[in-house]
Amino acid sequence: MPDTPSAPVLLGDQPGSFPHSVLAERHPAIIRQVREAFPYEPWQHRALDELLANCTKGEIEPLPADAHDRDLWETWGLREYAGRSWFDVPWLWSESWFYRRLLQAVGYFGPGPWQGIDPFRPFKRDELDSHETDEELAALDDLAGRPAGDVAQALLHGSLWGNRADLGFRLSAEGARAADAAPGLVADDSDRLWALLGGTGTGTLCLVADNAGRELVPDLLLIAHLLAHGRVGRAVLHVKPYPYYVSDATTADVVDALRRLTGAGGTAAEYGQRLWSALADGRLTLRAHPFSCAPLPYEEMPGDLRADFASATLTVVKGDLNYRRLVGDRLWAPTTPFPDVTAYFPGAVAALRTLKSDVITGLDARTEAELVAAEDQRWRTSGTHALIQVRTPG
């Protein structure tokens, strides 16, 4: 990284810190909610009990010899971290390990009758079927007659603020209340983003998705608009290969979202049909790369994923977790330049994220001072602020 001193990697070992609260409180709450949402069998209840004890008080255990992904996890750090407390290894690693272990506990990886049953599906479905989603889709009809540039900007903001609808965040928030209405962009490179999507109609957009439901729907609408208006010729949507961080989007969630759009009537259905056709004729493709659920920063991405991003006109990276992985899950000084910490990225990259963890880069000193004066450090994790940051190579 050019002249950028490094910063400490976030661990979950400090009581009172946000990472510690995720490991000590959020994870047990997620186990409880998943258990209540499914008519699980005795072996699954036992496995969930064991996971609850292990993730709060135990040590990281090796995977069984026959686990399908044992080699992968060993290269991702399991060999080094086995035997250590969940609280003493990188926080990003512990969190990813939690979702891997939760899926194992409920039989997701099989073989058996529970193979492939997404433990977060009831929460995702509720959100997709909600009245709020109805309202957001109906609002598209009002946008229909507006100039294309205005529609594009509205859809970009829909995709950005859709990131606030993160179920892991809300399931464990006290009383699952909605975040306070105090939005504010702390960095806005949207002009540079639009300059990259200039409209020759030949470029490729990679969009690295985050949450399903009320985030994925506006992501899809944005892709549909960019394709329809020739701002890009192709789009590649990266989703997770298995359920992750409660609401992260998988292929099944893309299918649900598209069916929701096409069934909604009005303008929403037109967008849905366009995306359906784009999938059929290859202008829109899906990827579910194993590294999308890796407990590692993107700087360590494998060659095939690197090549994918390198061939894109722009890669849009959505959400808080992806931001942590993009810039490195470290306690950076907030004014650390975003282009410096993403210099390794193979091509132009844009981050669209609401702030829900301590990691932040690319602020100007004045913005940081104003945020601290108004909210102490709460702005980092409250989900009420957002950013659009862009780095172009060269």
Ligand X SMILES: O=P(O)(O)OC[C@@]1(O)O[C@H](CO)[C@@H](O)[C@@H]1O
Judged by the rule CB under 6 A, the positions of this chain that interact with ligand X are: 22, 26, 95, 163, 166, 168-169, 210-211, 245, 319-321, 324, 356-357
Q: Where are the beta strands (DSSP E) in the chain?
A: 184-188, 204-208, 234-238, 284-287, 314-318, 349-354, 385-391
What DSSP state is assigned to residue 189? Answer: -
Which of helix, strand or coil describes residue 81?
helix
Distance in Å, CB of 159 to ligand X, minimum:
12
234 vs 356 by CB, closer to ligand X: 356
Distance in Å, CB of 23 to ligand X, minimum:
9
Find, among 316, 341, 314, the residue nearest to 327 by Cα.
341
Find, among 296, 342, 294, the residue nearest to 316 by Cα.
342
Distance in Å, CB of 320 to ligand X, minimum:
3
Distance in Å, CB of 374 to ligand X, minimum:
20
356 vs 385 by CB, closer to ligand X: 356
CA 34 – CA 246 distance, rounded (Å): 10
Find, among 21, 26, 27, 15, the residue nearest to 101 by Cα.
27
321 vs 348 by CB, closer to ligand X: 321
Burial class (CB in 10 A: 0-12, 13-18, 19+), 213: buried
Distance in Å, CB of 102 to ligand X, minimum:
13
67 vs 173 by CB, closer to ligand X: 173
CA 159 – CA 152 distance, rounded (Å): 11
Distance in Å, CB of 4 to ligand X, minimum:
22
118 vs 166 by CB, closer to ligand X: 166
- In the complex, residue closest to ligand X by CB: 356
Omega into 62 within 30° of 0, i.e. cis?
A: no
User: Token digits for 343?
Assistant: 């210099």
Which of helix, strand or coil describes residue 13?
coil
220 vs 268 by CB, closer to ligand X: 220
Distance in Å, CB of 270 to ligand X, minimum:
28
357 vs 367 by CB, closer to ligand X: 357
